[in-house]
Amino acid sequence: MTDLLILLGVVLGIIAISKVVSVLNMVSTAKGENSYMPNARENRLQARLMPVFLIAYFAFIIWQIVSWGDRMLPVAASEHGQTIDDLMNITWLIITPVFVITHILLFYFAWKYAYDKNRKATYFSHSNKLEILWTAIPATVLLILVLYGLSVWNKITTPLTAEDDKIEIELYARQFDWTARYPGEDEKFGKVNVRFIEGVNFLGMDSSDVNGADDKYVKAEFHLPVNKNVQFYFRAQDVIHSAYMPHFRAQMNCVPGMITRFQFKPNKTTAEMKEITGNPEFTYMLMCNKICGAAHYNMKMEIIVESEEDYNQWLSEQKEFLAVEETIKVEEKIAPPSDSTETNVEESDQLSVLTND
């Protein structure tokens, strides 16, 4: 109710201010104050400032490219990444000359045809030829770009088949961290349910599902084997997040209540990328690309790409869900929770069940 009153107050305030402004305008028109016309000298000055602004504007753009250009992403670290970069480069190649030419013309015309009392403008109301030309050319160019973009999108989002050699990872987003879950040796993810989310079991793992017993989950960093397809599943606990892995040219929204997917094949290890970039500190990052709350900027996770042997070694060292679960049970025995932890879950209430194809 209070919100409604505040809104009403703001709306009425805006209406009142606009009425006052229009009354003041009418008063000054009646007094003849609005009939000001710039003189010839002022006109000439404005006209001369046009090319000056044009040059300053382009100089500013070039300065930005020179001083910030090295912040651009390095070469793509995934197999499909090059197709995205090609799409981006072709789009730049088409729009940059258009941008330069239209701006030169815009400022040139403003300078060349500044008001001159001895010159009369040519009036013409319509030209079919012109209308067709300036509609058809941009439409065709945009159609080509859209179709090209669509074909790239279809190519990179085509799901992997059961025969494809792949690993599977679930990325779980919540305010404000990421968790990566691996299906364990059985290569099957355990069931999850939003109703099981409590305390340490923030993933909502269903402990009655045997497939989940060997699931492994990690925070802070996760590993990927090089030159192997990675099928990602994304979940979110609270609000919409977005899994953004810029070096792999990959991004997918994480939406509460549903599972989204994306897959790619990393083709450069972290060590190789350190060499390519000449930066010994280089790391691949998973970041959140939806402003999801106060600590959104800090919602990130390191990604390590390494050889398959190193990856397997690392994975074997990670704790299984069952082991984590046992620890929780022991803790509960020592200090039983004050309120009842009983949860009533019907099978039909399963919000999201991850299954292997």
Q: CA–CA separation, 26 vs 65, rounded Å?
A: 48
State which residue, 203 or 299, has the beta carbon closest to Cu ion.
299
State which residue, 149 or 293, has the beta carbon closest to Cu ion.
293
Q: How far is the CB of 250 from Cu ion (least distance, A)?
A: 16
Q: Is 226 in the site for Cu ion (CB under 5 A)?
A: no
Distances, alpha carbon 122 to alpha carbons 113, 119, 125, 130, 209, in Å: 12, 10, 10, 16, 80
Residues facing residue 181 across a β-bridge: 170, 217
Site for Cu ion in 293-312 (CB under 5 A): 299
Q: How far is the CB of 239 from Cu ion (least distance, A)?
A: 7
Q: How far apart are the first and last CA of the chain?
A: 51
Q: Is 236 in the site for Cu ion (CB under 5 A)?
A: no
Q: How far is the CB of 238 from Cu ion (least distance, A)?
A: 9
Q: Is 241 in the site for Cu ion (CB under 5 A)?
A: yes
Q: How far is the CB of 297 from Cu ion (least distance, A)?
A: 9
Instruction: Quote the radius of gyration of the chain (alpha carbons, Å).
Output: 30
* Tokens (6 digits) for 200: 């340490």
State which residue, 173 or 305, has the beta carbon closest to Cu ion.
173
Q: CA–CA separation, 319 vs 179, rounded Å?
A: 14
Closest CA to 191 of 174, 199, 200, 203: 203
Q: How far is the CB of 286 from Cu ion (least distance, A)?
A: 11
Q: How far is the CB of 60 from Cu ion (least distance, A)?
A: 33
Q: Is 218 in the site for Cu ion (CB under 5 A)?
A: no
Q: Is 156 in the site for Cu ion (CB under 5 A)?
A: no
State which residue, 174 or 191, has the beta carbon closest to Cu ion.
174
State which residue, 229 or 253, has the beta carbon closest to Cu ion.
253
Strand boundaries in the chain, DSSP class E? 166-174, 177-182, 216-218, 221-225, 229-236, 241-245, 250-254, 260-264, 284-288, 300-306
Q: Is 245 in the site for Cu ion (CB under 5 A)?
A: no
Q: Is 292 in the site for Cu ion (CB under 5 A)?
A: yes
Angle, helix 128-157 to helix 81-112, in steps of 10 degrees: 160
Q: Out of 273, 288, 303, 305, point to the residue binding Cu ion (CB under 5 A).
A: 288
Under 8 Å between Cβ of 286 and 178: yes
Q: How far is the CB of 287 from Cu ion (least distance, A)?
A: 9
Residues lying near Cu ion in the complex (CB under 5 A) are found at: 241, 288, 292, 299
